[in-house]
């Protein structure tokens, strides 16, 4: 399949690690690129941040308005009538981006999948199914999609994948309970979730970025 267009940021020459970061509904790959300087420590190995643009498609919950989206959302109850075909197409798009990092010399065990909201849902769905061990998954203000199929489809290679989950206690879009239910579903399957909550709405905050920096640092120095 053709690769999605991406914004890329490299923190040094010849990156040895990659972070593929998926934006939220209606945003694009530029959305999280500005946090790279805040997130990265000078003593880390060189990283390549890949911020892909989701395809433009109509989104039902927004009156059918075309926007960048990883899948369609039919209703505010996020879990009702999931756009499984759209989700699986986005998982395939992420797999293609991982394959390109392999071609550029970065193996799966040095790749982190990250995402916010819709992007976090796809990061989880793709990462837990990826056939080779990943360095980690970052899930921000999101929920677990395709949960009904995960037990059958998950990859043994990522049974122990580190998962950082950050969620706002005042999130009106992906309510906190949705995140809690998703964490419980993952823990029931044996996954360990590094769970963090913050007094914020559907967004990110400085404290979350600081915690994420510590989490990345532990993965990159191990």
Question: Which one is catalytic: 17, 23, 130, 202?
Answer: 202
The reported pLDDT for the residue numbered 78 is 57
pLDDT tens for each residue of the chain, 222 residues long: 689 999 999 999 999 999 999 999 999 999 999 999 999 999 999 999 999 999 999 999 899 999 999 999 987 665 667 899 999 999 999 999 999 999 999 999 999 999 999 999 999 999 999 999 999 999 999 999 999 999 999 999 999 999 999 999 999 999 999 999 999 999 999 999 999 999 999 999 999 999 999 999 998 864
Concerning whether 43 is annotated as a catalytic residue, the answer is no
125 alpha-carbon distance from chain centroid: 9
Q: Is the pTM of this model over 0.75?
A: yes
Question: Which one is catalytic: 23, 28, 171, 182?
Answer: 171
SS3 153: helix
Contact indicator for 41, 139 with CB cutoff of 8 Å: no
The reported pLDDT for the residue numbered 220 is 82
Contact indicator for 60, 73 with CB cutoff of 8 Å: yes
Question: Which one is catalytic: 117, 141, 167, 182?
Answer: 117
């Amino acid at each position: 399949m053709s690769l999605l267009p991406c914004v890329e940021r490299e923190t040094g020459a010849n990156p040895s690690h990659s972070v593929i970061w998926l934006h939220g509904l209606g945003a694009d790959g530029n959305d999280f690129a500005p946090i790279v300087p805040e997130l990265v420590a000078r003593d880390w190995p060189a990283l390549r941040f890949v911020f892909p643009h989701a395809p433009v498609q109509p989104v039902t919950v927004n009156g059918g308005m075309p926007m960048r989206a990883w899948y369609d959302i039919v209703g505010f109850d996020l879990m009702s009538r999931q756009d499984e075909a759209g989700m699986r197409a986005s998982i395939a798009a992420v797999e293609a981006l991982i394959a390109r990092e392999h071609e550029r010399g970065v193996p799966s065990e040095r790749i982190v999948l990250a995402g916010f909201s819709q992007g976090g849902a796809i990061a989880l769905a793709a990462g837990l199914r990826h056939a080779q061990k990943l360095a980690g998954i970052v899930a921000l203000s999101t929920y677990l999609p395709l949960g009904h199929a995960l037990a059958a489809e998950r990859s043994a290679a990522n049974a122990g994948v580190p998962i950082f989950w950050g969620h706002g206690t005042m999130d009106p879009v992906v309510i906190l309970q949705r995140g809690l239910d998703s964490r419980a579903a993952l823990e029931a399957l044996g996954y360990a979730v590094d769970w963090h909550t913050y007094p914020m709405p559907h967004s990110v905050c400085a404290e979350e970025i600081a915690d994420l920096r510590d989490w990345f640092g532990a993965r990159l120095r191990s």
